Structure 1
């Protein structure tokens, strides 16, 4: 099957790479499984500077620690200022690689891998932070249980916000349901088999909320600018919560494979 060069890169490739690489290091899957997952995201992967998909896989093979972060303007998720953080503000996803020998702990200057591209070609920017980061601490920075509880409330909040938006709908209800389902599916992460059902619940909730926020942002609900401005703070809070929860869920899978 061919892919249009203008097709967007499937969501969260760095998260998928980190989780599958951790599973491979733990002997829970083969290197071919990681490569197959990467091909699901893009036909060609390039490591910048200099390298292809095998060099990318080697970069995340057997490091001391891996950690995913999903920053956004105004919410750096604990990342220090610098070129890697600035670049990740656009892609909204970054993979930190503490490339010391396994067993190392404490602050270091990690590599940052940032995927940019389309479903045809994904270029992974590789930058090293100037500042030191304790990657091993960031992996377990958020409590997944607390975030799951917050997400339950947030799902209701998102539904209430949509119900409060008025105006002529630009699509029929059935079309809106289909559009929402497509956005929710696009926000899912391709993870290896794991033993953490809470992770699946959290990721399902984040995808649902992200799908709702994306649909609102598209204007398909016919909402007015004044109404959106009034709800903007709540939308930002929901977006921040989904990014924190999604990062924590992926990092929990990484921790399952690497530290247990």
Structure 2
């Protein structure tokens, strides 16, 4: 078995599909650009639809489904924070994949609660399987796409970067042999959490996503034992790490939904 066959896809495939599909429909990128981006996630893509009312034989039809609808909203739920998702198959799947795209597949202009579709992605760099399931509880997707203002979140992230660095500085135990090793590890983890975006006109989105990726990487370094953290130290830092992780999920969700909304205007 090759190394790539047991590795996971790059982070945030659902978010990438959503923003690149919106950019395509806003004529901010070519259709080939979208396909190239998806190929960066996996060499092959398969789509499973929930029933006869949704025909999604391939990824091109999936892109059309994401585009031809009333509203879409990305959510990134975690234990204790469902981000507005009702209980059911979609929420359970999203908890394991860490992201879902809610699709109000009614005609443009429709508002209010509906039994939306939930799109998740699973796979490896060789093959990505896109799964669509319809919610069994109605949600207002248009409301879920309106998150906290990016300006407030950007400020909170600036504060959080310093806090995350302090957490690492306060943890003793085995560390990479030199500061350069720590910087390299942090850079690699940050890059793995980066989301490539289509051309757009909102630099705050870039800043928010970059800060979220950096904080995620710091939290990962502190939380998975990469720094040789003792059990007692991990317990002390755990609440702070969870709060930082929650902030990055909220900020990343808001940034992606803001960009999608900008494209769809």
Q: Check whether the contact 1:7–1:119 (CA below 8 A) recurs between aligned residues.
A: yes
**Map of 2:21 onto structure 1:** 21
* 1:236 and 2:236 are equivalent in the alignment: no
**Map of 1:102 onto structure 2:** 108
**Map of 2:53 onto structure 1:** none
Q: Check whether the contact 2:29–2:199 (CA below 8 A) recurs between aligned residues.
A: no
Q: Check whether the contact 2:205–2:255 (CA below 8 A) recurs between aligned residues.
A: yes
Distance in 1 (alpha carbons) for counterparts of 2:21 and 2:229 = 43
Aligned residue among 140, 144, 164 for 1:158: 164
Distance in 2 (alpha carbons) for counterparts of 1:103 and 1:3 = 47
Q: Structure 2 vs 1, CA of residues 4 and 122 (structure 1 numbering), >3 Å: closer, same or farther?
A: same
Residues 196-243 of structure 1, C-alpha deviations (whole Å, 9 max, x = no match): 010011011001100101111231212111101111111111000000
Aligned residue among 85, 88, 98 for 1:92: 98
* 1:185 and 2:191 are equivalent in the alignment: yes
- Indicate the SS of the match to 1:167: coil
Moved more, 162-171 or 139-148: 162-171
Aligned residue among 129, 134, 137 for 1:131: 137
- Indicate the SS of the match to 2:205: helix
Q: Check whether the contact 1:44–1:53 (CA below 8 A) recurs between aligned residues.
A: no
- Indicate the SS of the match to 1:81: coil
**Structure 2 spans left out of the alignment, 5+ residues:** 50-55
Distance in 2 (alpha carbons) for counterparts of 1:32 and 1:86 = 33
Write out the 4+ residue segments of structure 1 that deviate beyond 3 Å after TM superposition.
Answer: none
Q: Structure 2 vs 1, CA of residues 3 and 221 (structure 1 numbering), >3 Å: closer, same or farther?
A: closer
**Map of 2:4 onto structure 1:** 4
Distance in 2 (alpha carbons) for counterparts of 1:18 and 1:205 = 21
Q: Check whether the contact 1:154–1:238 (CA below 8 A) recurs between aligned residues.
A: yes
Distance in 1 (alpha carbons) for counterparts of 2:45 and 2:65 = 13
Residues 110-151 of structure 1, C-alpha deviations (whole Å, 9 max, x = no match): 100000111111111111101111111111122111111111
Distance in 1 (alpha carbons) for counterparts of 2:76 and 2:48 = 20
**Structure 1 spans left out of the alignment, 5+ residues:** none
Q: Check whether the contact 2:17–2:34 (CA below 8 A) recurs between aligned residues.
A: yes
Aligned CA-pair RMSD: 1.5
TM-score (norm 2): 0.93
- Indicate the SS of the match to 2:4: coil
Moved more, 246-255 or 168-177: 168-177
Shift of 1:166: 1.0
Alignment of 1:171-250 (within 5 A): 171-250=177-256
- Indicate the SS of the match to 2:190: helix
Matched length: 258
Distance in 1 (alpha carbons) for counterparts of 2:174 and 2:260 = 45
Distance in 2 (alpha carbons) for counterparts of 1:139 and 1:171 = 44
Q: Check whether the contact 2:102–2:118 (CA below 8 A) recurs between aligned residues.
A: yes
Distance in 2 (alpha carbons) for counterparts of 1:204 and 1:219 = 24
